[in-house]
Amino acid sequence: MTRSLVLALAFLAAEAAACGYCVEDKIASTYDHAVVTRALAQGHHVVFFHIEGSPGARRELERAASSLPGVDRDSVRLSLPTLTLSVAFDPRRVSLVELNTRLDRKLVARKLSFMPFRIMEEPADLKAVKR
């Protein structure tokens, strides 16, 4: 009995290791180190959104996100399997709330909405220094 339980738990743990739904997995699916480094060096922020709904056409989503005011055009990254979109944006030109609202409005006809779940505002090494 105990052996069966251990084997079952081991199997479940292996399945959960890379399920694609954990925040870390979602970030990793669209993370581009060059984009993040460049954006943060310019004082821009990088935001990761969960996509609510059925995204469908990849190019339409990428085009919609990159056309928003304040978004760094070549920073858009999309992962359909994890329903994740990331973009770098200039917070002096557009706030996160405005960016989120504009993105939702732009794709409301496709019945999509976007929920930010992680924002990178400064390099990780600076965060450690400030503590």
Q: What is the average per-residue pLDDT within 77-100?
A: 96
The pair of structure tokens assigned to 65 is: 């996100």
| Of 96, 121, 111, the residue nearest 61 (C-alpha) | 111
Residue 54 has pLDDT above 60, yes or no: yes
Residues 6+ apart with CB under 8 A from 105: none
CA distance 71 to 51: 17
**Residue that wins the pLDDT comparison between 58 and 100:** 100
The pTM score is 0.79
**16-28 pLDDT tens trace:** 455 556 889 999 9
Structural domains in the chain, CATH included, are 19-130 (3.30.70.100)
Crossing angle of the two packed helices 58-66 and 96-106, in degrees rounded to 10: 140
pLDDT the model gives residue 98: 97
